[in-house]
Amino acid sequence: MQTLTQRLANPTRFMELSGSVLPWIAGAAAVVIAYGLYLAFYVAPPDYQQGETARIMYIHVPCAWLAMAVYAMVAMSAFGFLVFRHPLADVSAKTAVPLGAAFTFLALVTGSLWGRPTWGTYWVWDARLTSVLILFFLYLGLMALRSSIEDDSLASKLTAILALVGIVMLPIIKFSVDFGNTLHQPASVLRVGGPTIDTAMLTPLLVMALGFTLMFVAMHFKAMRNEILRRRVRALQLAQVEKAQASQLAAAE
């Protein structure tokens, strides 16, 4: 008797389900991001201190949130793979890593471009910026580790273990603005006591965050579908080789 998660995590069923919902999620992401950009540029006021530069927030913050959220998802998928041995969990972890790396890279680049006119510098080695840079290197490390091991099964296990160990970075990043000297502002949305940011700026930010999240889900579904197809191609090629070898042996006998 299969559990609900086992039924949903079946690769063939995933291909059917994701194939039907993917265009809708991608379309919803495009509409929400377009609306978010309209709000960000035409409705949200400039910041009273930073002026127009604060409009970088509407892409920087969603990228930074996704950088961490995607890593949490990679770690959960890794846990699912190590504990339940389900191949779809490995597919999820493997395909989310490059996407998470891209969002972390964008959080660093947009933050740097926001920092230059605001702080007077592109970069400082403070706790927040440095811990996000380490997260980026962790993503690169996961990709490098997986691609450096030829045995797919071993590569999956080792990257899953590294992904679980690396989850320690998430609380460090989250609370890095609360300890030590930093130019980065403290949390102003996800904090105890509620957001401190004005609704006129919070609304476009949340709309953009929703749009980016939908976009990530669509990209992750597509990447997972590609990976499942890649594994099917590999399995068929392997079966073809084994069949050819068997027929050669039979002919020799």
For 25, left (φ over 0), alpha (ψ -120 to 50), or beta?
Answer: alpha
| Interface residue with another protein, options 6, 121, 153, 226 (CB under 8 A) | 226
Strand partners, 47: 51
Per-residue x/- track, 83-102, another protein (CB under 8 A):
---------------xx--x
In terms of CB distance, is 33 or 78 closer to another protein? 33
Q: For residue 36, give every residue at least 6 positions away whose Cβ sits within 8 Å of its Cβ, in sequence order, or none.
A: 58, 204, 207, 208, 210, 211
Pick the closer one to another protein by CB: 72 or 239: 239
> Exactly one of 34, 144, 154, 233 binds another protein (CB under 8 A); which one?
233
In the complex, minimum distance from the CB of residue 112 to another protein, in angstroms, rounded to a whole number: 9
The long-range contacts involving 143-148, CB below 8 angstroms and separated by at least 24 positions, are 143/97, 143/98, 143/101, 146/94, 146/97
How far apart (Å, rounded) are the C-alpha atoms in residues 53 and 213? 23
Binding status of residue 51 toward another protein by CB under 8 A? yes
Q: Cα–Cα distance between 129 and 187 in angstroms, integer? A: 14
Decide whether 10 or 179 has the Cβ nearer to another protein.
10
**Applying CB under 8 A, which residues contact another protein?**
12, 41-42, 46, 51-53, 55-56, 59-60, 63, 98-99, 102, 105-106, 109-110, 113-114, 116-117, 215, 219, 222-223, 225-226, 229-230, 232-233, 235-237, 239-240
